[in-house]
């Protein structure tokens, strides 16, 4: 039979497919990605008409923001890093630059993020752990010692404490001989997503938005080469958002920042070219490529609607990072493969800058070895794979073009809905996007626990006795002692009266709602005010934000209707409840400045669905505060979630605090990123069970119940 002369259609294919499938219908091959559905095959008719005449380097930039893309200049290899002291991080950066990295990206520790100096009692477990500890200009100078800040672009992931950190960076550069006009880089400065997912806010939303605006104004005037914001979907992605949610919420945040800058009287075509974006790239290969194409398309449309005229204002320039949550503690070398695939998707999607995660991600901070492999993953893509030779090589693929169009349509509709309800600031305050992301995350966890979504080495093809990997250990007490000593020397050496007057000016600006807070912070930093002091000068007026978001419920249970294992655990809980007259109760706690709460909230939601009484503790508590809360709530157990390496300090402290309050009967469990080699020390301290990344929620609940049943009173 000769080929039909018209283009092939889905119906033509379905005929052929039926013959292969026998009694099964072709629809069974459809797949769901969050709110989207994909078919097993696409055709020319699925490609929207405009795809054929789209040009890279021309609005709406679906095919890339530059005509030449990587054929002329590859993306920037920009590895996010930071740990321990400024000196140690500096040595790490210098080596990375010597070995092929092109731009820097600073990871600060959580004390710094939350505006505390290293000597603050609330941050004992956090100093130098998840990033580098920075308290003053002196630390910042040490961080960039010997690194020419006029030539190397520096990204700083800082949001809550953006004022002191950016101020200290500017002063450190100035003292290195580089004026602020010459600085190139990016400040994350995206506070809205902090309230949704990342949780390193300090002040409430309103004053926080004022700070964002002040930073944008100062940078527009004085730092023309610096990107004033990195509008981030990454953290939503990591918190479990679907691709449509990540796109819609990120771009809707972008709209708010544009409005914020325009309200300050800035000309859209002067600041918009320095807005930048940041997306997460997970394992759904083609979806992630289409996501970046869709983001660019939508942003050009949005900016046109907001009145931008300059083509550079319409370009969505982005950094990407491969997904941390997609990586596994089990069989960790598999993570090299995952990261390679994700990096390839980011590149085929046309990213400007990229971080590739290290394979030990789910265990600890990267070592020299694991970060070398991560960096080399990008070098191999750039130099060996030939993927840089051709611009947008997937343009015109039936599937990619159809997916791009589908994402554009769905995200556009979601953005319109948010705008109609008053915009993203209002949505964030109402907590709707956070709850929607949590529902998506909980549903996904249920899918993994049921084995519907396969993760190699975790819920399938598991191997026991995998070779150990070397991990980076940080001696937190040593880093802290060093920082405390430096703070003391700084405070003795500085002109105290001058410093205090700069801090007072900052407080006054904050109270009177006048002046530029970044300009004032620069003066304070120059006078050697510390990060904690600058933050406190503002906190006096703005206050500290306390989040309070209800848990989502019912999502987990719905996915497990009729599941034997789920029902068995529920009935064990029902029996305990009947015998004792109340359900087993658990306080899910986070301690220290570790705000990574996706895991804790998914567990809380699932446990509540199973029948536990679940109390979600407040974020950022100290060990004695958690113990006191456990006493007040009279819970049977505390489940501590630790993702920022504070476990060895904070868990023993919690158990001591419980003992001291005569609450020794409260059982303590732990979960999160805890290296197996720390398990013995934690057990020794009295932690009953430890659940690492990839733990199955039902199995974890069963293990916890064993401890309840052991101690049940006889009938
Ligand atoms: C690029 N250039 C070209 C070109 N491609 N010129 C000619 N032809 C081409 N094909 C030029 C650009 O115009 C620019 O110059 C210069 O080269 C650099 O290119 P770029 O594309 O702008 O790259 P870069 O400088 O790397 O900037 C990328 C960015 C930026 C815009 C996305 O915002 C950035 O670096 N972001 C990184 C953010 C980051 O690292 N975040 C980490 C988050 S981790 P010119 O003169 O125009 O500038 C995190 C985790 C956590 O958040 O802790 O939670
Ligand atoms: N060094 C290197 N990578 C880090 N990440 C977070 N902190 C650091 C650090 N100090 C990476 C991890 C994590 C993501 C948010 O950023 O990949 O998942």
Coil, helix or strand at residue 639: strand
Half-sphere exposure of residue 143: CA atoms within 13 angstroms, side-chain side: 31
| Distance from residue 78's CA to the centre of ligand 1 (Å) | 9
Residues 245 and 233: their CA atoms lie apart, in Å, by 9
* pLDDT reported for residue 1: 56
Q: Is the per-residue pLDDT at 339 higher than 80?
A: yes
Residue whose CA lies nearest to ligand 2 atom number 13 = 324
Give 464's pLDDT tier (boundaries 50, 70, 90): confident
pTM of this prediction? 0.97
Please tell me if the CB atom of residue 112 comes closer than 6 angstroms to any atom of ligand 2: no
Give yes or no for residue 131 CB within 6 A of ligand 2.
yes
Atom of ligand 2 nearest to the CA of 235: 15
Query: In 79-131, where does DSSP find H-type helix?
Result: 86-98, 110-113
**Binding site membership of 81 for ligand 2 (Cβ less than 6 Å):** yes
Tell me the average pLDDT of the chain: 96
Ligand 2 atom 15 nearest Cα: 324
Question: What ligand 2 atom has the least distance to the C-alpha of 322?
Answer: 17
Give the pLDDT of residue 3: 60
Instruction: Annotate 330-390 with DSSP letters as a single string.
Output: SSTTHHHHHHHHHHHHHHHTT-SEEE---TTTTTSS--HHHHHHHHHHHHHHHHTS-TTSS
CB of residue 616 inside a 6 A radius of ligand 2: no
Q: Which atom of ligand 2 is nearest to the CA of 132?
A: 10
Residue located nearest, by CA, to atom 6 of ligand 1: 73
How far away, in angstroms, is 584 Cα from ligand 1 center? 51
Residue 713 pLDDT level (bands cut at 50, 70, 90): low
Task: Please give the helix or strand (H or E) that residue 428 lies within, else none.
Answer: helix 424-430
Please give the average per-residue pLDDT across 686-703, as a whole number: 95
Judge contact between 669 and 620, C-beta under 8 A: no
Q: What share of the chain is helix, strand, coil (3-state, %, to 5)?
A: 50, 10, 35
Q: Is the CB of 388 under 6 A from ligand 1?
A: no
pLDDT the model gives residue 465? 78
Cα–Cα distance for residue pair 344/136, rounded to 1 Å? 39
- Check if the beta carbon of residue 476 is closer than 8 Å to that of residue 129: yes
Lowest mean pLDDT among 236-245, 464-473, 537-546: 464-473
Q: What percent of the chain has pLDDT over 90?
A: 96
Asked whether 179 and 206 are in contact (CB, 8 A), the reply is no
E strand residue ranges, 86-192: 103-106, 154-156, 185-187
Q: Which one-letter DSSP state was computed for residue 314?
A: H
The model's confidence at residue 714, banded by pLDDT at 50, 70 and 90, is very low
Is pLDDT above 60 for 561?
yes
Judge contact between 535 and 112, C-beta under 8 A.
Answer: no
Q: For ligand 2, pick from 357, 371, 471 the residue to mutate: most ligand atoms within 8 Å of CB.
A: 357
Tell me the per-residue pLDDT of 570-614, one tens digit each, with 9 for 90 and over: 999 999 999 999 999 999 999 999 999 999 999 999 999 999 999
What distance, in Å, lies between the first and last C-alpha atoms of the chain? Answer: 79
- Ligand 2 in reach of 83 Cβ (< 6 A): yes
Which one, of 298, 162, 157, lies nearest residue 234 by Cα? 157
Maximum separation of any 2 CA atoms in the chain, in Å: 93
Residues in the chain: 715
| Cβ count within 10 A of residue 48 | 15
Mean pLDDT within 249-260? 98
List the domains of the chain with CATH numbers: 493-542 (no CATH), 555-709 (3.40.50.280)
d(CA 631, CA 623): 13
Written in H, E and C, the secondary structure of 265-286 is CCCHHHHHHHEEEEEEECCCHH
- From the CB of 73, is ligand 1 less than 6 Å away? yes
Q: Is the CB of 353 under 6 A from ligand 1?
A: yes
Residue 213: which of 183, 191, 184 has the closest Cα? 191
| Residue 155 CB less than 6 A away from ligand 1 | yes
CA of 267 to the centre of ligand 1 (A): 22
Q: What angle do helix axes 285-305 and 243-263 make, rounded to 10 degrees?
A: 30
166 ligand 2 Cβ < 6 A:
no
In angstroms, what is the span from residue 496 Cα to ligand 2's centroid?
37
Residue 287 contacts residue 34 (beta carbons within 8 Å): no
**Mean predicted confidence (pLDDT) in 501-529:** 97
The set of residues, in sequence order, having a beta carbon less than 8 Å from that of 14 and lying 6+ positions away, is 26
Give the separation between CA 76 and CA 514, rounded to whole angstroms.
Answer: 38
118 Cα–ligand 1 center, Å: 31
pLDDT greater than 70 at residue 519: yes
User: Distance, CA 245 to ligand 1 centroid (Å)?
Assistant: 24
Contact of 139 with 152, CB cutoff 8 Å: no
Instruction: Give the catalytic positions in this structure.
Output: 80, 234-235, 590, 594, 596
Residue 357 CA to ligand 2 center (angstroms) comes to: 7
Task: Out of 56, 57, 76, 274, give the residue to mutate to test ligand 1, the one with the largest number of ligand atoms within 8 Å of its CB.
Answer: 76
ipTM score assigned to the predicted complex: 0.98
Tokens 């990454």 sit on residue = 234
Answer whether residue 480 shows pLDDT above 60: yes
Q: Which atom of ligand 2 is nearest to the CA of 366?
A: 2
- Ligand 1 mean position to 319 CA, how many Å? 7
CA of 80 to the centre of ligand 2 (A): 6
DSSP for 648-709, please give it: HHHHHHHHHHHHHTT-TTSEEEEEES--GGGHHHHHHHT--EEE-TT--HHHHHHHHHHHHH
- For residue 450, is pLDDT > 80? yes
Cβ–ligand 1 distance for 647 under 6 Å, the answer no
Which numbered atom of ligand 2 lies nearest the CA of 371? 2
- Gap between the Cα atoms of 350 and 510, Å rounded: 41
| Alpha-carbon separation of residue 566 from 74, 441, 473, 638, 696 (angstroms) | 50, 18, 38, 22, 12
Ligand nearest to the CA of 234: 1
**3 state SS for 204-259:** CHHHHHHHHHHHHHHHHHHCCCEECEEEECHHHHHCCCCHHHHHHHHHHHHHHHHH
Q: What is the 3-state secondary structure (H, E, C) of 20-84?
A: HHCCCCHHHHCEEECCEEECCCCCHHHCCHHHHHCCCCCCCCCCCCCCCHHHHCCCEEEEEECCE
DSSP state, 621? Answer: B
Distance (angstroms) between ligand 2 centre and the Cα of 358 equals: 9
- Ligand with the closest atom to the CA of 151: 1
Strand, coil or helix: 322:
strand
The pLDDT tens digits of the residues spanning 284-317 come to 999 999 999 999 999 999 999 999 999 999 999 9
Q: Kindly state if the Cβ of 318 falls inside 6 Å of ligand 1.
A: yes
Nearest CA to ligand 2 atom 1: 81
Q: Are 337 and 297 in contact (CB under 8 A)?
A: no
The angle that helices 531-542 and 496-512 make with each other, rounded to 10 degrees, is 30
Band (pLDDT 50/70/90 cuts) for residue 149 is very high
Q: Which has more confidence, 549 or 406? A: 406
- In this structure, the residue with its CA closest to atom 10 of ligand 1 is 69
H or E stretch covering 642: strand 637-642
Q: What is the pLDDT of residue 390?
A: 98
Beta bridge partners of 352: none
């Amino acid at each position: 039979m000769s080929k039909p002369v018209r283009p092939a259609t889905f119906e033509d294919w379905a005929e052929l497919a039926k013959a292969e499938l026998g009694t099964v219908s072709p629809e069974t091959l459809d797949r769901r990605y969050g709110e989207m559905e994909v078919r097993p095959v696409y055709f020319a008719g699925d490609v929207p008409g405009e795809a054929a005449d789209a040009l890279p380097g021309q609005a709406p930039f679906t095919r890339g923001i530059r005509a030449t893309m990587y054929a002329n200049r590859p993306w920037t290899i920009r590895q996010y890093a930071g740990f321990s002291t400024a000196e140690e991080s500096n040595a790490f950066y210098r080596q990375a630059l010597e070995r092929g990295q092109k731009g820097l990206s600073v990871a600060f520790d959580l004390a710094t993020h939350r505006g505390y100096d290293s000597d603050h009692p609330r941050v004992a477990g956090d100093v130098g752990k998840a990033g580098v500890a920075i308290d003053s200009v002196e630390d910042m100078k040490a961080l960039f010692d010997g690194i020419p800040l006029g030539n190397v672009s520096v990204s700083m992931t800082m949001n809550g404490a953006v004022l002191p950190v950016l101020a200290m960076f500017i002063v450190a550069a100035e003292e290195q001989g580089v004026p602020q006009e010459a600085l190139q880089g990016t400040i994350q400065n995206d506070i809205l997503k902090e309230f949704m997912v990342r949780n390193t806010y300090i002040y409430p939303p309103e004053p926080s938005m004022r700070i964002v605006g002040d930073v944008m104004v100062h940078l527009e005037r004085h730092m023309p080469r610096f990107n004033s914001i990195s509008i981030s979907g990454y953290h939503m992605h990591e918190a479990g958002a679907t691709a449509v949610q990540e796109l819609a919420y990120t771009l809707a945040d972008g709209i708010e920042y544009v409005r914020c800058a325009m309200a300050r009287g800035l000309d859209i075509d002067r600041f918009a070219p320095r807005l930048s974006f940041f997306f997460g790239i997970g394992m759904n290969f083609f979806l992630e490529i289409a996501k970046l194409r869709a983001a660019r398309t939508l942003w050009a449309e949005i900016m046109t609607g907001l009145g931008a005229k300059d083509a550079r204002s319409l370009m969505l320039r982005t950094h990407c990072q491969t997904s941390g949550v997609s990586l596994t503690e089990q069989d960790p070398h598999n993570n090299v493969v995952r990261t390679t695939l994700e990096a390839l998707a980011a590149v085929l999607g046309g990213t400007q800058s990229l971080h590739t995660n290290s394979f030990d991600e789910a265990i600890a901070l990267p070592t020299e070895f694991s970060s070398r492999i991560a960096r080399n993953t990008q070098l191999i893509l750039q130099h060996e794979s030939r993927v840089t030779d051709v611009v947008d090589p997937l343009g015109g693929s039936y599937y990619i073009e159809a997916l791009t169009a589908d994402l554009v349509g769905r995200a556009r509709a979601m953005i319109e809905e948010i705008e109609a309800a008053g915009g993203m600031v209002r949505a964030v305050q109402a907590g709707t996007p956070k709850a929607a992301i949590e529902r998506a995350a909980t549903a996904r966890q249920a899918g993994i626990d049921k084995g519907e979504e396969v993760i190699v080495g975790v819920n399938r093809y598991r191997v026991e006795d995998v070779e150990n990997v070397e991990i980076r250990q940080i001696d937190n007490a040593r880093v802290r002692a060093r920082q405390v000593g430096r703070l003391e020397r700084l405070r003795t050496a500085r002109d105290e009266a001058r410093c205090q007057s700069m801090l007072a000016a900052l407080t006054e600006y904050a109270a009177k709602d006048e002046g530029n807070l970044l300009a004032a912070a620069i003066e304070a930093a120059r006078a050697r005010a510390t990060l904690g002091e600058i933050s406190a000068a503002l906190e006096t007026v703005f206050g500290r934000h306390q989040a309070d978001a209800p848990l989502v419920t019912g999502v987990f249970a719905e996915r497990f209707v009729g599941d034997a294992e789920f029902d068995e655990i529920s009935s064990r809980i029902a029996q305990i409840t009947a015998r004792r007259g109340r359900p087993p109760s658990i306080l899910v706690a986070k301690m220290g400045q570790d705000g990574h709460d996706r895991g804790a909230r998914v567990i809380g939601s699932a446990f509540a669905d199973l029948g536990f009484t679940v109390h979600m503790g407040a974020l950022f508590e100290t060990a004695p505060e958690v113990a006191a809360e456990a006493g007040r709530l009279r819970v049977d157990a505390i489940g501590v979630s630790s993702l920022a390496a504070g476990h060895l300090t904070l868990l023993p402290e919690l158990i001591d605090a419980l003992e001291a309050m005569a609450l020794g009967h409260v059982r303590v469990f732990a979960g999160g990123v805890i290296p197996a080699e720390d398990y013995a020390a934690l057990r020794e301290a009295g932690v009953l069970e430890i659940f690492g990344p990839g733990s199955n929620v039902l199995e974890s609940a069963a293990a916890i119940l064993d401890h309840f049943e052991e101690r049940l009173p006889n009938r």
